[in-house]
Amino acid sequence: MITTRNICIFGDPIAYGAWSRDGGWAERLQKILQRRTIDSGFRSYYFLYNVSIPGNTTGDVLARFDAECEVREPHIIVFAVGINDASCRANPDKPRIERARFEENGVRLIREAKARAERVLWVGLTTVDEARAMPFEATYFLNARIRDYDAVIKTVCAKEGVAYVDIAGVVGPEELADGLHPNDRGHEKMCVAIERALAGCGVQ
């Protein structure tokens, strides 16, 4: 019996692959799945679509979610978004997406994903090195808020019955290329954690 699994990743610049010289965690995962397809004698096909866009928030993903899914027909949907929601522009006390709206967006995304896919996962947020994580003028990434938004993701996932991939502590400050985005080692460690979570969805 030949099986096919389409996997869609909706994320931000970290899922996009910034700033790895050798490919971010999603690209590394794609290579692993291509090898598995070949090693199966082409009886288990895995197609990974990374539709992550730098700068995206949960609101941005919601706006394009239906169109992206319509043409890819995913069996598994992975969300890796939220750190930009927690970031602030100009005012360090005003996040781009307010906490209540962030929670609403998370619930909407999960419910829409469950209506389209067999399995849904949400990758938790990485913390930053605040001393280096603000390369753009008047843009703020603060760990206290990032942890709070990550807790929102974890709670929403539990309530909605989908997998939450805990990344807190996986990527340390020394594994951040610019204080915000992982370097090669950081992406590799994320890939290992996410591959392990996907194994629980039958991707193995």
Domain total for the chain? 1
Residue 204 counted as domain residue: no
Residue 115 counted as domain residue: yes
Instruction: Tell whether omega for the bond before 19 is within 30 degrees of 0, i.e. cis.
Output: yes
Residue 111 counted as domain residue: yes
- For the chain, what percentages of helix, strand and coil (3-state, to nearest 5) are there? 45, 20, 35
The residue-averaged pLDDT of 36-63 equals: 97
Say which CATH number the domain at 77 has. 3.40.50.1110
Q: What is the C-alpha separation between 29 and 24, in angstroms, rounded?
A: 9
Q: pLDDT digit string (tens) for 85-95?
A: 999 988 889 99
Q: What is the rounded end-to-end Cα distance, in angstroms, of the chain?
A: 16
Residue 133 CA, chain-centre distance (Å), reads 19
Q: pLDDT digit string (tens) for 110-129?
A: 999 999 999 999 999 999 99
Residue 90 counted as domain residue: yes
Q: Model-level pTM?
A: 0.95
Residue 15 CA, chain-centre distance (Å), reads 5
Residue 79 counted as domain residue: yes
Residue 53 counted as domain residue: yes
Domain around 54: 3-199
Q: pLDDT digit string (tens) for 144-189?
A: 999 999 999 999 999 999 999 999 889 999 999 999 999 999 999 9
